[in-house]
A and B are shown apart, each in its own frame.
Chain A
Amino acid sequence: MSAPLPGPVMVAAGCGGTGRELEPFCGDDGLDGLHVVTRSITLDARSGGPGPRVVEVPGGLVNAVGLPNPGLEHFLATELPWLVRAGARVLVSIAGATMGEYADLARRLARAPGVAGLEVNVGAPDDVGAGLYEVREPFHSASVIAAVRREFASDRPVLAKLRPDVSRIVEGARSCHEAGATAVVIGNAVPAAFPDGRAGGLSGPAVAPIALRCVAEVRRAHPDVPTIGCGGVRDLASANAYLDAGARAVQVGTALLHDPTTVARLRATLRTTAHLPGPEETP
């Protein structure tokens, strides 16, 4: 079975608001046809962590937003229909406290109209995703992907989003792909600390070289595993670095917080360049 690969430019999880806030900055097309990954949705509502949730550091941001989201029920009733109506290709990011929760989320999202695919968040920096299923071991991530795959139609993509940890990424990418992931998103906020020592995750330009290295390693070891680069994408050069390293698409997160028009501009530029991997079929 094959599922279409999203891209080439996607909105990274947690950096596009609910979609509504991004739409005014996406030009005439709005969200139409844009691959939008939602912020991670959990079964129950989460109010998120205490402030300050996001602080600036040289080269990036440290965040401990704490996955605030209204819970699956509310998301299905309000945010998803809005996104679908706006024409977005919605990839719902899911996060669970147990393997069963991931399966539950996948089962219910499989029936929801308009869900283009899933992105399984199995790489949140520790503590930021406090209460999430422990998926640091590639073996655990792969079991989650397999559980999600069982519940979610195989003609729609399931992406595995992994932490850009170069010592584990090759095994993680391979095992998630074998477990049924259509592609592996390489890059999430990198475990870091706020200036006051609190745990958080680093994102932005500073993490691009780290995720790029991971994409290159996976490409070298497993050229058959489709990858999506995520981390510090802000312009054509930073997007092309991932595409040149073999990534099939890129996701834009932090750059949107600095300039909300980044995705629309990149989309327009990549459309007219030779790279364009496009929404191909994967074997």
Chain B
Amino acid sequence: MADERRRVAGPVHVEGEVVATKRVGGYRHLTLTAPGLPERFRAGTFVAVSVAGHIARRPLWIHRVRASSAFGPTLDVVVQVRGSGTAWLAAQPVGTRVAVTGPLGRPFALPKDPVACLLVGEGYAAAPLFPLAERLRERGCGVSLVVSAPDEAGLLSALEARRSVRSVTVLTADGSVGQRGRVPDVVDDLVARSDADIVYAAGPTAVLASVAAAAERAGSWSQVAVEVPTPCGTGLCHGCALPVVGEDGVDRVVRGCTEGPVVRGDRVRWDALGAGS
């Protein structure tokens, strides 16, 4: 007995096309068509993209979707070149066809009530926080956004987000723009100032761990978007081990791509994930 509703809501695997590519700071922003995918998007989900000559997929956060454009519905991703796969992606011209699977993973959970929310994002990983901010604002939540990076080139622009949030804090480790500092050093202050009931975070493991700990100290909920090496992205291979504590208090290893990537911050076993790296 096929569950039709589930299949409609579930991810798709389609041939997409690069319809725009733009260098912004240290990143490459790609706009892709992917029939059926943007319509299913929820903030915090990601796509798995195929790279020529490679078997494993490359997971990328969905930064934004447009319901309509000259190319129909599109989605944007932000690529930071790390190895051969991201280098290939960043170099593709408009017109390149790529296999795209998504939206994948559990999205950010949204509060039912219009509560105060703090969103902390570092580097490219801040990408899913922008559409999240819009959803939260639609629900009447007061949103404080923190965008952080080692330097200016690593910052995602918060210009557009200013419309949907109450306050924006820009944080760079080298002080090149905004406030000088790193998330772990200022996070308690940020949480206190925002008076947030829920703290959302996306970024490197050390940043997520510090935010989760600060939220717990302040008695707030936290939702963190965790990145672990992800071979397939679809939940098929069990390769993306994410150590958590289950609701029953028992240690478990779940799939980052399927039971995550967004999980409650107090559920992650940060030490087993090697937080601090």
Q: Which of B19-27, B144-152, B162-170, B233-241 contacts A (4 or more CB under 8 A)?
A: B233-241
**Bound Cα distance from A125 to B6, whole angstroms:** 36
CB-CB under 8 A from B56, the residues of chain A are 54-56, 61, 257-258
Chain B, 232-269, contact with A by CB distance < 8 Å: what is the 0/1 string? 10111111110000000001110000100000000000
Instruction: Say if the beta carbon of A187 comes within 8 Å of chain B.
Output: no
Q: Which of B7-15, B68-76, B131-139 contacts A (4 or more CB under 8 A)?
A: B7-15
**Bound Cα distance from A30 to B99, whole angstroms:** 20
**Bound Cα distance from A55 to B7, whole angstroms:** 30
B38 → A minimal CB distance (Å):
16
Q: Are B238 and A53 in contact (CB under 8 A)?
A: yes
Instruction: Say if the beta carbon of B231 comes within 8 Å of chain A.
Output: yes
Q: Which of A44-52, A90-98, A141-149 contacts B (4 or more CB under 8 A)?
A: A44-52
Q: Are B7 and A260 in contact (CB under 8 A)?
A: no
Within the complex, which residue of A49, A54, A68, A86 is in contact with B231, where a contact is CB–CB below 8 Å? Answer: A54
Q: Are B13 and A261 in contact (CB under 8 A)?
A: yes
B14 → A minimal CB distance (Å):
9
Within the complex, which residue of A32, A56, A65 is in contact with B2, where a contact is CB–CB below 8 Å? Answer: A32
**Bound Cα distance from A221 to B238, whole angstroms:** 37
**Bound Cα distance from A47 to B250, whole angstroms:** 12
A208 → B minimal CB distance (Å):
13
Chain A, 253-276, contact with B by CB distance < 8 Å: what is the 0/1 string? 010111111000000000000000
Instruction: Say if the beta carbon of B213 comes within 8 Å of chain A.
Output: no
Q: Interface centre among A17, A32, A52, by most B CB within 10 Å?
A: A17
CB-CB under 8 A from B12, the residues of chain A are 24
Instruction: Say if the beta carbon of A14 comes within 8 Å of chain B.
Output: yes
Instruction: Say if the beta carbon of B50 comes within 8 Å of chain A.
Output: yes
Q: Which A-chain residue is minimally distant from B11 (CB atoms)?
A: A24
Within the complex, which residue of B7, B13, B252 is in contact with A23, where a contact is CB–CB below 8 Å? Answer: B7
CB-CB under 8 A from A54, the residues of chain B are 56, 229, 231, 237, 239
Within the complex, which residue of A30, A48, A60, A260 is in contact with B55, where a contact is CB–CB below 8 Å? Answer: A60
> Which residues A224-273 have CB closer than 8 A to chain B?
254, 256-261
Q: Are B236 and A21 in contact (CB under 8 A)?
A: yes
Within the complex, which residue of A21, A47, A86 is in contact with B1, where a contact is CB–CB below 8 Å? Answer: A86
B24 → A minimal CB distance (Å):
28
Say whether chain B's binding surface is mostly helix, strand, loop, or mixed. Answer: loop
Q: Which A-chain residue is minimally distant from B251 (CB atoms)?
A: A47
Instruction: Say if the beta carbon of B172 comes within 8 Å of chain A.
Output: no
**Bound Cα distance from A228 to B56, whole angstroms:** 25
**Bound Cα distance from A99 to B80, whole angstroms:** 50
> Which residues B13-47 have CB closer than 8 A to chain A?
13
Instruction: Say if the beta carbon of B54 comes within 8 Å of chain A.
Output: yes
**Bound Cα distance from A50 to B241, whole angstroms:** 8
CB-CB under 8 A from B109, the residues of chain A are none
Within the complex, which residue of B2, B236, B240 is in contact with A86, where a contact is CB–CB below 8 Å? Answer: B2
CB-CB under 8 A from B1, the residues of chain A are 85-87
Q: Are A260 and B101 in contact (CB under 8 A)?
A: yes
CB-CB under 8 A from A87, the residues of chain B are 1-2
Instruction: Say if the beta carbon of B228 comes within 8 Å of chain A.
Output: yes
**Bound Cα distance from A208 to B240, whole angstroms:** 25
Chain B positions within 8 Å of A, measured between CB atoms, are 1-3, 6-7, 10-13, 50, 54-57, 99, 101, 228-229, 231-232, 234-241, 251-253, 258
Name 7 A/B residue pairs within 8 A (Cβ), A-sorted. Answer: A50-B241, A51-B240, A54-B56, A54-B229, A68-B253, A86-B1, A257-B237
Given A47-B252, A60-B55, A86-B3, 12 more contacts at CB 8 Å?
A17-B237, A21-B258, A51-B241, A61-B55, A68-B241, A85-B1, A86-B1, A87-B1, A204-B55, A257-B56, A260-B234, A260-B236
Please give me the 9 A-B residue pairs with the lowest Cβ-Cβ distance, nearest first. A21-B235, A24-B10, A54-B239, A257-B232, A54-B231, A56-B56, A47-B253, A17-B236, A17-B235
Chain A positions within 8 Å of B, measured between CB atoms, are 14-18, 20-25, 30, 32, 39, 47-56, 60-61, 63, 65, 68, 85-87, 204, 254, 256-261
